Amino acid sequence: MRSNCDMKIAENAVARVHASYHYVFLTLPQYSMIALSSAVEALRMANRISQQNVYTWTLASLGGQSVPASNGLTLSPTVALDAIGQADIVFVCGGVEIEAACTPPVVAALRKIGQRNVALGSLCTGGYALAKAGLLDKYKAVVHWENMTALEEKFPKVIFSRQLFAIDRDRYTCTGGVAPLDLMLHIIKGHLGKNIAPMISDQFILERIRNDQDRQHVPLMSRVGLFHENLIEAAALMEANLEEPLSLDEIASLVGVSRRQIERLFKRYVGEVPTKYYLDMRLRRARSLLLQTGMSIMEIAVACGFQSPPHFSKCYRDLFGHTPSAERKNSRRQILEGAAPRSDAGA
């Protein structure tokens, strides 16, 4: 049974709710089931904890038939896209072989929805379908990192981001894996207040709720291809030497090229100088330690190659918008505000 604390928080959330939301998930052939289930399960748990049907959802396909996910399984019930009724957001669920899944009828159907001023979203590679339909032009958008480089070239009007998810006006785009859970928790927090999302996270045994400042990891090899061995080797040396950073001259010497060549490779294929790439790598590692361990800020600074705490704090604020101490304080406050004993019911 739920604790009195659980019940009180849930009752307060219910008292604030004055609307319900219907989300449609358009499943394209070979879609990612983990991305879809992560999104739907967050909505289900929000209803369960708030004790109200705040969210309803519908699985759809173009013709109404259940389509296979990339793992070979199908889900039902699935309805035809033109029979979904009123929807607050239509999410396009993509996966592997996304280009083949984006047939002319799919693109036409999405454009028709867009003309009705319905909010649109995507999970995993579903952003490809929206981009192909011209529905992401001049929007910030997110797709799975495996497809990002190709899509940046194919759809130059789209502002692709390496975040986990992006919300830009009436577009809700997300990468794959379990990142849709973070997107939904962000949406749920906006609807139900700050308490429900941490309780959902607790039920699903998540260490922390990620936000739109978190970036999906994009391996350098995926960004530049297999033919830039010197660049990949330089990045690997950086990643292996975070606590005691190598100088750019040392990296160039170990790779066997000149410093100037390393700088040209990073500038051309990564879009930034190698020192900035290296610094951001160390700061992202620092953020992970800050949020997931009990290490002191000084210990984290040293572990990520910063000998001066003020310098670490300044660099951290420049990248993430706040100091390490403010980040940890905010994280702890969110945990305390949303903390509640787990119920004995399973997730």
Closest by Cα among 39, 5, 342, 15 to 199: 342
Query: Would you state the pLDDT for residue 191?
Result: 93
Mean pLDDT, the chain cut into blocks of 10 residues (347 residues total):
48 58 97 97 96 95 95 95 94 93 96 94 96 97 82 89 92 95 95 91 86 73 64 87 94 94 89 92 87 85 92 93 88 58 34
Euclidean distance between CA atoms 312 and 179, whole angstroms: 28
Collapsed DSSP state (helix, strand, coil) of residue 126? helix
- CATH 3.40.50.300 assigned to domain 4-203? The reply is no
Q: The tokens of 176 are what?
A: 């794959």
Euclidean distance between CA atoms 65 and 75, whole angstroms: 10
Q: Is 289 in contact with 242 (CB distance < 8 Å)?
A: no
Q: The tokens of 168 are what?
A: 């830009």
Collapsed DSSP state (helix, strand, coil) of residue 85? coil
Residue 17 CA to chain centroid, in angstroms? 26
Evaluate the CA torsion angle 291, 165, 128, 231 in order and state its sign. negative
The residue behind tokens 């979904």 is 84
- CATH 3.40.50.720 assigned to domain 220-334? The reply is no
Cis peptide before 245 (omega within 30 of 0): no
Residue 133 CA to chain centroid, in angstroms? 22
Closest by Cα among 334, 296, 4 to 196: 334
Q: Is 173 in contact with 165 (CB distance < 8 Å)?
A: yes
Half-sphere CA count of 203, side-chain side, radius 13 A: 23
Query: Would you state the pLDDT for residue 217?
Result: 66
End-to-end CA distance of the chain: 13
Q: Where in the chain is the domain with CATH 1.10.10.60?
A: 220-334
Query: Would you state the pLDDT for residue 1?
Result: 40
- Return the beta strands (E) in 75-217 as ranges: 78-80, 89-93, 119-123, 140-141, 159-160, 165-168, 171-174
Query: Would you state the pLDDT for residue 12?
Result: 53
Name residues whose C-beta falls within 8 Å of residue 197's C-beta, 6 or more positions apart in sequence.
Answer: 185, 186, 188, 189, 209, 338
Q: Where in the chain is the domain with CATH 3.40.50.880?
A: 4-203
Report pTM: 0.67
Query: Would you state the pLDDT for residue 44?
Result: 97
Q: Is 177 in contact with 2 (CB distance < 8 Å)?
A: no
Query: Would you state the pLDDT for residue 342?
Result: 34
